[in-house]
Amino acid sequence: MIPASIMLRLLALVGMLCLCSTEPLLRNKRSWIIDSFDIVEEHPGPFPYELGQINLDRNYLVEFILKGHGVDEEPKGVLSIDSKTGVIHVHRKVDYEQFSILRLTFQAKNKSNSAIDTQLGMEVNILDINDNPPVFQRKLYNVTIDEAAKQGEFVVGVLAIDKDAPGTPNSTIDYKITSVTPSGNNVEFYIEPRGSLSFKGCLDYELANKYTITIEAKDRGKGVKLSSTATIIINLQDGNNHAPIITGQTPLDYEKQTKHKFTIFAENKKPFFSCEVKERFGDRLWTVVSNPQNPSSRNITITVEDSNDPPFFLDPAKKAVVEENGAIGAFVDKVKAVDPDTGRPHKLE
């Protein structure tokens, strides 16, 4: 890249400035600044290359001198000027993120008496290239939200910073969700332009108690767009969206007690909620139905039915004495059995 030389003609200032004067210029500061030069950041060379030329119309010899940033101040060794021709050369690369502008002083010295003939300010702008990807402040975001959170609520905010020139496409960042694990039909996460993450639909702890989301930040650099990613882990806190169910079963003994009085109580300490997706939209929140359930009570009648339990002997083992050679059908002894269903003795057959 060889910029066109910049011609500075001081003859236009005749009457305003004594060309042989050694006094410093006292005009408005802006009046004595040479038009700025531009250097593309990370210019590949080859070096040195010509940046431009400063010409003064004089009828005597002058020596050109350049001082300031890029010459004898950091970043040193970037620029030089030919003392006879006024041609400025660039000798190495410059990083915009370290030096966005180089401010220098140009002097023209009368060679006959070494007096400073002209002293002007000079600026060299470093033109930013897209050499920095956006960087997230954190690579991992870990948050916990309630299962009962409503769609559209703020979940977490991410922020990425690009070191390229502010206000340019190189530093303008777009956020995008690249993956969500696990995926589902009842919930959809989305991210706002400023990095705020929210969701549409309904969260369900029983379906997924944790989500892992990958967020991409990409700049708008011309040609090559640079990007980086961060991970968001969302942990769900179980909410009260399931009514209590009585699962225990205990048999009742009719023989021990024919009448029973029960108090059955089921309680959830947190308010009950429910959420159901009815309609999905791409550009706005979905239609969901929430049905909070109020506490209620019911009267329950329990009927205990008697089962036919077998009778049992009052004496499970009993001794009897009979005479030898006794008659058939002679009386031996008497036993008693009780029916547990009635509690009364029964005759045996």
Domains of the chain (ranges plus CATH)?
Answer: 6-127 (2.60.40.60), 135-237 (2.60.40.60), 308-349 (no CATH)
- Where residue 332 falls among pLDDT bands split at 50, 70, 90? confident
- Where residue 211 falls among pLDDT bands split at 50, 70, 90? very high
| Contacts within 8 Å (CB) and 24+ apart, 257-265 | 258/304, 260/302, 260/304, 262/300, 262/302, 264/300
> What 8-state DSSP symbol labels residue 69?
B
Instruction: Output the six-digit token pair for 300.
Output: 């329950």
| Contacts within 8 Å (CB) and 24+ apart, 24-29 | 24/119, 25/119, 29/121
**Would you call 275 exposed, middle or buried from its count of C-beta atoms within 10 A (0-12, 13-18, 19+)?**
buried
**Mean pLDDT in the chain?**
81
- Where residue 341 falls among pLDDT bands split at 50, 70, 90? low
Please check the confidence at residue 281 and state whether its pLDDT lies above 60. Answer: yes
Q: From the CA atom positions of the chain, what is the Rg in Å? A: 48
Of 16-20, 23-27, 90-94, which has the strongest mean pLDDT? 90-94
Please check the confidence at residue 105 and state whether its pLDDT lies above 80. Answer: yes
Q: How far is CA 51 from the centre of its chain?
A: 44
Over residues 113-139, mean pLDDT:
94
Q: Which of 10-19, 56-65, 73-82, 304-313 is predicted least confidently? A: 10-19
Please check the confidence at residue 27 and state whether its pLDDT lies above 70. Answer: no
Query: What's the whole-model pTM score?
Result: 0.63
Over residues 163-190, mean pLDDT:
95
Q: Are 230 and 191 contacting, i.e. CB atoms less than 8 angstroms apart?
A: no
Tell me how far apart the alpha carbons of residues 205 and 61 are, in angstroms, rounded to a whole number: 86
For residue 46, whether the previous peptide bond is cis, meaning omega lies within 30 degrees of 0, is yes
How much is the pLDDT for 259?
Answer: 66
